[in-house]
Structure 1
Amino acid sequence: MLTTIKTSINKYTVAITEAENPHIRRALHDQLDTTVYLHDELSDLLLEKGWLG
Structure 2
Amino acid sequence: MANLAFAWKSQGRHEDALALMQDCVEARERVLGPEHPYTLSSLTAVLKWSS
Q: TM-score, normalised by structure 1?
A: 0.51
Runs of 4+ residues deviating >4 angstroms:
none
Gap runs ≥5 in structure 1: 17-27
1:13 Cα shift? Answer: 1.8
More helix by share: 1
Instruction: Provide Cα deviations, 1:1-53, integer angstroms capped at 9, x if missing partner.
Output: xxxx122112112101xxxxxxxxxxx211011111111000011025xxx78
Matched residue, 1:14:
10
Q: What's the Cα RMSD here? A: 2.0
Question: Identity rate of aligned residues, in percent?
Answer: 9
Matched residue, 1:36:
21
Paired residues, number: 35
Which one scores higher on RCO, CA 8 angstroms, separation ≥ 6? 1
Write the distance in 2 (CA, Å) between the matches of 1:47 and 1:11: 23
Gap runs ≥5 in structure 2: 38-51
